[in-house]
């Protein structure tokens, strides 16, 4: 039987280290308010953990065109409620 490949969001930064990813990017966190938590909470936790574990990451704005070589680490969500 195949193992479950879902990684809980609180473990995704650590999983990227195991996978030897060069850069990571959070997804599925700001398009819709589908949970009880504030919509910014997942990305705030992601950025904190990535910095703590010294993992290179991208946080492009929704709809922003970017390249993996870009420095897309703005905290654009802080401008919104």
Residue-wise pLDDT for 36-69, tens only, equals: 778 888 899 999 999 999 999 999 988 889 888 8
For residue 4, being part of any structural domain is answered with no
Q: Provide the pLDDT confidence category of residue 15 given band limits of 50, 70 and 90.
A: very high
| Rounded mean pLDDT, 18-33 | 85
Residue 56 lies in a domain: yes
Residue 63 pLDDT: 86
Asked, for residue 1, whether it belongs to a domain, the answer is no
In terms of residue numbers, what domain contains 36?
Answer: 9-79
The answer to the question of residue 3 being in a domain is no
Q: How many folded domains does the chain comprise? A: 1
* Residue 40, both tokens: 């910014």
- Please indicate, yes or no, if residue 2 is contained in any of the structural domains: no
Indicate the SS3 state at residue 25: coil
Model confidence at 11: pLDDT above 70? yes
Give 4's Cβ-side CA count (13 Å radius).
3
Instruction: Give the separation between CA 77 and CA 53, rounded to whole angstroms.
Output: 22
């Amino acid at each position: 039987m195949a193992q479950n490949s879902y990684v809980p969001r609180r473990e995704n930064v650590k999983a990227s280290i195991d996978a030897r990813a060069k850069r990571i990017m959070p997804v599925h966190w700001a398009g819709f308010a589908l949970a009880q938590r504030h919509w910014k909470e997942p990305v705030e936790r992601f950025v904190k953990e990535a910095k703590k574990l010294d993992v290179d990451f991208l946080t492009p704005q929704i709809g922003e065109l970017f390249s993996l070589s870009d420095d897309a680490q703005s905290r654009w969500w802080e401008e919104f409620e």
